Amino acid sequence: MQLPDQMSERNRLLGALSADDYRWIQPHLETVEMKAGDVLADENQPFTHVYFMGTGVASITNRVAGGTVEVGTVGNEGLVGLGVYLDGGGIPSRTFVQVPGSGKRMLAAAFAAGAEERPALQKILRRYVQAYLIQVAQTAACNRAHSVDKRCARWLLMTHDRVGGGHTFPLTHQFLAYMLGVRRAGVTVAAGILQKAGLIHYTRGSITISDRKGLEEAACECYGIVAHHVDRLTSPRTGE
């Protein structure tokens, strides 16, 4: 059963914890407001904190010869800083705030120590690791198989799910290019297709979802596959 404070948590992992684990973690949590572009961990640098996203969205990107490509995103379904739990140290990726918003953070050392001692917490974290790996694998397949406009629709739906119910969120051409692994000209074309269909309204630095159902129909099947597994693996029942 959830505690009263736990019921108001926007982060689904925090909401899925057992009452005992939530009592343990709550005093360690610090509420933070995150601005777009804030770096949470740079390439090959260990996380000093883990972050439970609320309304913000974080992006994990890798540099390649052709530029920068997103390899994963984390919103209110999960945890930024999985390497702390996995005891793997730094990774060759840059993790930064993609969509500004609120969240909570905890010192990495305290989180690692607590996770080591709490079997119920370990179970929830293992399930989230699986959900995250499904997202990464499906995104890799999607980037290979589907058109830019379908991938753009998928990514916008994922972001819309995470930003706290609002239909408008800040997003630049450059960030969207990172997310989709294409040049900015490709983003312009993809966003133009969706806007012409009346599904989104795009202005400089901002996107509004105008027709959620239509956007779901325009997206590839990857959105539904990832959403299903995230719901299944981060459900509050995992904390019972």
pLDDT at residue 236, rounded to an integer: 65
pLDDT at residue 240, rounded to an integer: 43
Tell whether 89 and 174 lie within a shared domain: no
| Max CA separation in the chain (angstroms) | 54
Tell whether 155 and 137 lie within a shared domain: no
Tell whether 77 and 186 lie within a shared domain: no
Tell whether 55 and 29 lie within a shared domain: yes
Tell whether 11 and 60 lie within a shared domain: yes
Tell whether 15 and 108 lie within a shared domain: yes
Tell whether 98 and 201 lie within a shared domain: no
pLDDT at residue 49, rounded to an integer: 97
Tell whether 56 and 156 lie within a shared domain: no
Q: Which residues contact 158 (CB under 8 A, 6 or more apart)?
A: 73, 75, 223, 226, 227
Tell whether 65 and 124 lie within a shared domain: yes
Q: What CATH code is carried by the domain that includes residue 209?
A: 1.10.10.10
Q: Which helix (H) or strand (E) holds 185?
A: helix 184-196
Edge-to-edge order in the sheet of strand 101-107: 30-34, 101-107, 49-53, 79-80
Best CA proximity match to 96, nearest among 179, 31, 166, 30: 179
- Total Cβ atoms within 10 A of residue 173: 17
Domain count within the chain:
2
- What are the Cα distances from residue 237, in Å, to 80, 87, 153, 196, 200? 22, 26, 30, 41, 35
Tell whether 111 and 158 lie within a shared domain: no
Tell whether 12 and 113 lie within a shared domain: yes
Contact 98, 59 (CB under 8 A): yes
Q: What is the mean pLDDT of each run of 10 residues along the chain (240 residues)?
A: 84 94 97 96 96 95 83 93 92 93 97 95 95 93 91 93 84 80 84 95 90 96 94 66
Predicted model pTM: 0.90
Contact 169, 99 (CB under 8 A): yes
- Total Cβ atoms within 10 A of residue 20: 13
Domain that holds residue 80: 4-142+227-239
Tell whether 94 and 132 lie within a shared domain: yes
